Amino acid sequence: MIKRSRLGTFLPLLIILTSLLGWGRAVQAQESVRPTPTVDRLGPPPTVPSPTQADEGAYLYWLNCQPCHGDQGQGLTDEWRAQYPEEDQFCWNSGCHGERPYEDGFKLPRTVPAVIGDDSLRRFQTVGQMYAYIRVTMPYEYPGVLPEEEYLAIAAFLLRENNLGDGAPLTQESVNHLALWPDETMPLIAATAITAATPIPVSATPAKSNSPFSNVLVAGLAGAVVLLGGIWIWRRKAQ
């Protein structure tokens, strides 16, 4: 009787443990086959509670730069164009960005360079040069349309994504004193690219004019002097 009572006590516990173990395995199996959410590469970047200047630049980059320069700054590659709806993948074949754009359209270049990775900013020596370039030439369809603080935010974002700079906020004054490559010597071509204009030497005496008009004028004045002189002599003889 004692053995049967013990078996009757532990049997329900064994059934419960077996059921819990089976349920845990079923949940684990469901999680293992759960599909991974698809990342929307055309969507805006995630927001952060206290955005920095570079974080704000990330959103501005998405809004103004990403359509052409790519979600990873890779440029207008075939892989990036494939992320767009099929009707928007071949912009040059349509009227909006082709040889004959619509009234509100614009012609899009065939090649759009990368701006993140692989020394994509090597064309610039200072942050000021990069900032001045994007401020004057971008966005491509409406250059210079953004406020100054938005251009600074985009510059800060590009610095962060390229692992450049110290993360300090950029100002119109500070960008001119920040080197993109502080540990490297500026190449000779970059150092000599901007030189003072050579003044054109000016002669101490005015150059003689050989124009036909000036020759006719001199001849006319000489003829008038001779004529007046002849009239004066004739009147003296007539008296």
- Render pLDDT for 128-153 as a digit per residue (tens, 0 to 9): 999 999 999 999 989 999 999 999 99
Q: Is the dihedral of CA 48, 146, 87, 69 positive or negative?
A: negative
Between CA 81 and CA 88 the distance in angstroms is 8
Asked if 130 and 180 touch (Cβ cutoff 8 Å), the reply is yes
- List, in order of start, the domains of the chain with CATH numbers: 44-75+112-182 (1.10.760.10), 77-110 (no CATH)
Partners of 126 in beta bridges:
179
How confident is the model over 159-177, as pLDDT tens digits? 999 999 999 999 999 999 9
Please report the pLDDT score of residue 197 as a whole number. Answer: 34
Please report the pLDDT score of residue 67 as a whole number. Answer: 93
Please report the pLDDT score of residue 89 as a whole number. Answer: 83
Please report the pLDDT score of residue 75 as a whole number. Answer: 95
Q: Is the dihedral of CA 110, 112, 113, 114 positive or negative?
A: negative
Q: What are the distances in angstroms from CA 121 to CA 31, 170, 174, 222?
A: 43, 17, 18, 69
Q: Which stretches of the chain score pLDDT less than 50?
A: 1-2, 187-211, 213
Q: What are the distances in angstroms from CA 102 to CA 106, 107, 122, 126?
A: 7, 9, 35, 38
